[in-house]
Amino acid sequence: MFIDCYQWDRFNALQLNRRLTNEHMFLSNQSKIRNHLAEDVLNAEMLNLMLQYQQYLGEKGNVLIGVIELL
């Protein structure tokens, strides 16, 4: 769900979360231990992005309820 949301934001003309990079979503062995990557993915900006993605999905956006509660 996070990767789908990230990819949607990348192809969106108005990117909502410009901080996220491929390194945030596709972790290597070295990047798995970097706390700042997790902080960037689990912050208020990501919550806003998930809410916008949920609205974009419409009826199918109900699958994101658990992720939104987590954020």
Residue written as tokens 């410009």? 18
pLDDT given at position 55: 94
Count of structural domains, the chain: 1
**Can you state the angle between helices 2-11 and 44-57, rounded to 10 degrees?**
80
Boundaries of domain holding 21: 2-70
Phi-psi region for residue 58, left (φ > 0), alpha (ψ -120 to 50) or beta? left
Residue 5: partners with Cβ closer than 8 Å, 6 or more residues away: 49, 50, 53, 64
> Within 13 Å of residue 48, how many CA atoms lie on the same side as its CB?
8
pTM: 0.81
Question: What is the chain's pLDDT, residue by residue, as a tens digit (71 residues)?
Answer: 999 999 999 988 788 888 888 888 888 887 777 788 888 888 899 999 999 999 999 999 999 999 999 88
